[in-house]
Structures are given as C-alpha cells and as structure tokens.
C-alpha cells in the first residue's frame, strides 16, 4: 500500500471514529478526509455513483482506494 493511500485510510478512519452522526459519514466528508478540502463536484458525483452502485458495502480501505483511483482516472482521461 502506498504511503498516500495509507495516510488517506488513516484520515478516513479517524473521521469515522470521531463522527457522532448516526446516519454515517457524508460523501463530502469522506472525500475531504481522503483528498483534502480542494475537491470538486465532478469527483463527488463519481464517488456517489460508485458508492450507490455497490450493494455489498465497502471497507474504509476500499473507499479511500476508490476515491484516489477515481481521481487518478479522471486526470488520466483529461
């Protein structure tokens, strides 16, 4: 696991542990934990679609890896 991914997973885990919301984490909160505050609506839309399409659930590691992978894919397509 790359250090970037490890750091993203750690921030996401810290967020999940500190969040007192019964409804879980918002997509925006997850993306900010992984990417930082400078993310855009396009990335948020892609992450929302990916999370909604996964009916079996995802671990925090998979979510962090997915967010980073979607962001890298986006820029490789530009």
pLDDT digits (tens, 9 = 90+) for 45-58: 999 999 999 889 89
Return the C-alpha torsion angle 57, 24, 22, 14, nearest 10.
110
pTM (two decimals): 0.88
Please give the structure tokens belonging to residue 20: 């007192």
Model confidence pLDDT, tens digit, residues 26-76: 999 999 999 999 899 999 999 999 999 988 989 999 999 999 999 999 999
Residues 47 and 27: their CA atoms lie apart, in Å, by 7
Residues 57 and 72: their CA atoms lie apart, in Å, by 22
Residues 20 and 17: their CA atoms lie apart, in Å, by 8
């Amino acid at each position: 696991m790359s250090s970037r991914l490890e750091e993203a997973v750690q921030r996401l885990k810290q967020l999940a542990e500190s969040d007192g919301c019964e409804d879980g984490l918002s997509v925006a909160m997850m993306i900010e934990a992984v990417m930082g505050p400078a993310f855009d609506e396009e990335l948020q839309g892609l992450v929302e679609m990916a999370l909604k399409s996964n009916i079996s659930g995802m671990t925090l590691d998979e979510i962090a890896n997915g967010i980073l992978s979607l962001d890298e894919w986006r820029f490789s397509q530009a």
